[in-house]
Amino acid sequence: MAHVMLAAFDPLGVLMTVVGLGGLIFFHELGHFLACRLTGTRVEAFSVGFGKEIFGWTRKGTRYRIGMIPLGGYVKMAAENPGEQNTGAPDEFPNKPFSSRLFIMSAGVLFNLILAFALFVWAFGIGVPLQSTRIGFVQPGGPAWKAGLKPGDLITHVDGREILDYLDLASSELSATVTLTVERGDERLDVLVQPRQAGADLPLGIGPELRAEAKEVAKDSPAAKAGGSPGDVVVAIDGKPVSAPHDIDEVLAAAAAASGEVAEIEVRMRVRRADGQEADLDVRLPLTPMIGITPFEGPGTTRVVPQPDSPASRAGLEAGDTVQTVAGTPVASWEDMTKAIRANGLKPLDLGIRRGDRTIDVRLVPAPRPADLGYARELVQTVRRERNVVRAAALGWRRTTRFIEMVVLTVKGLVTRRVSTEAIGGPIALVTATYNMFDQGWGLYLQILGLISVNLAILNLLPIPVLDGGQIVLLCAEKLRGKPLPERVVGWLQMAGLVLILGLLVLAFRNDIARLLQ
């Protein structure tokens, strides 16, 4: 939200956001336009944006225009829509051979993928910050813990495929068993890991590496009240040494577990200040009940995944269970459920669970969880820059194929409900992300444009009639049938596709606005 408000003071950032996103749309439509030129298909209009024309000109029978609504664009070909008069002229779209029409409809997607590749190559030539693949946290009882992985291990390959950064690892579709190649000191190890297949946010049971020093201290947090400052590095808690950020949670969790039924605990925390001096802080941490569950498919429902070695897993909860009641109170959302769990405190808790077509009752005893200290830390990043064009091209190709896989997996997850619809972003999210990345440097700016270009390519391939993918499906149906589909059928399909797209836009705008308000 702060970036949106500051945009008024950053005209260059706003300009580059508009130019970048507008350029992606232009390049997609340019693919269709050039394909029309190569196949001799007459183009009546080339538009970036929809709605009322705010600027345009006509050249050689084609109207070039910029529309008022910057949510896409189009190339209008002669006689392409149902109901338009087809004079039989050889330059009209319906009169072109199947191969020419298929090429025209595929060209926008192809151009977006070519552009994405070029942007990634350019980004690596400038330098791209990559999130470290060194393990910062291993969840006790999780898959990585069982396989013997440790904090500090550097993951280099997954099933023999080199990974560039933690994003590659976190977004991979993991099989029943994966081989992680890790570097541990001077050793290079291949470790077999069996990921959790259902849901949760830590399928491998690991977390990324964080910087030891605090970037900032949240206002009114326990650390702030005790005198914590940005730049603090926690070195000990109650005399127990702390060597990495993940140690803090383990020490505090142990202190909470040994506290009994109390509302808060007090610990003495030794910190090293930004100037190198050390200080002792007396920190009071409120305790809240924790049963150890994460969302199965996003926080929009009460379907859960139990964490390893947690009250929920010990009580017999299974991945995919839906919590219907908490302490006898019906719950319909994740927020309702967490409020009811907090209200129950540390007393024994009764849950009503739906598992398949059965309803079962589960009793468990919540564990005390200390409140967050309030120290915000940055992820450890390294800048990858390739001056060699061949190596930069190789990295750009890997980034392109990796992001294609990511987008396909996301779409698949939305269809199968493994990914919440709250993950869908719209124009506001795209503008905000692009502006934020430009604010952080050219490398990230070019990379986010490449990712959005991949998104445009894959989403346009969806078999929805108003999109390129839907048009390709209709063309293939015509080829199989031996003649065009009835205009009435095509019209109905296009209307249904339009309704679906508008519905997705409404959902995306709702999610965008909710994120801004948060």
Cα 444 from Cα 13, distance rounded (Å): 13
pLDDT of residue 6: 47
* Protein fold of 131-208: Pdz3 Domain (2.30.42)
Q: Which residue do the tokens 């350029």 mark?
A: 23
pLDDT of residue 297: 63
pLDDT of residue 2: 47
pLDDT of residue 299: 58
Three-class secondary structure assignment of 250-303: HHHHHHHHCCCCCCEEEEEEEEECCCCCEEEEEEEEEEEEECCEEECCCCCCCE
The H or E element containing residue 32 is: helix 11-39
Cα 76 from Cα 66, distance rounded (Å): 13
Q: Which residue do the tokens 């040994």 mark?
A: 258
**Positions in the chain short of pLDDT 50:** 1-8, 198-201
Q: What are the phi and psi torsion angles at 246 (to 5°)?
A: -70, -20
As a dihedral over the C-alpha atoms of residue 299, residue 305, residue 309, residue 310, rounded to 10 degrees, the angle is 40
pLDDT of residue 300: 63
Domain limits, the chain: 2-126+417-484, 131-208, 216-290, 293-365
pLDDT of residue 200: 44
Task: Kindly give, in sequence order, each residue whose CB lies less than 8 Å from that of residue 12, ignoring residues fewer than 6 positions away.
Answer: none
pLDDT one-digit tens code per residue, 261-283: 778 899 999 999 999 999 999 99
Domains 131-208 and 293-365 share a fold: yes
pLDDT one-digit tens code per residue, 300-352: 678 888 887 889 999 999 988 999 999 999 998 888 899 999 899 888 999 99
Distances (CA, A) of 158 to 133, 182, 197, 312: 11, 9, 16, 30
Give helix then strand counts, H and E, for the chain.
14, 23
Three-state secondary structure call for residue 457: helix
Q: 3.40.50.2300, 3.30.70.260, 3.40.50.970, 2.30.42.10: which CATH number matches 293-365?
A: 2.30.42.10
The H or E element containing residue 72 is: strand 62-77
CATH superfamily of 216-290: PDZ domain (2.30.42.10)
pLDDT of residue 517: 76
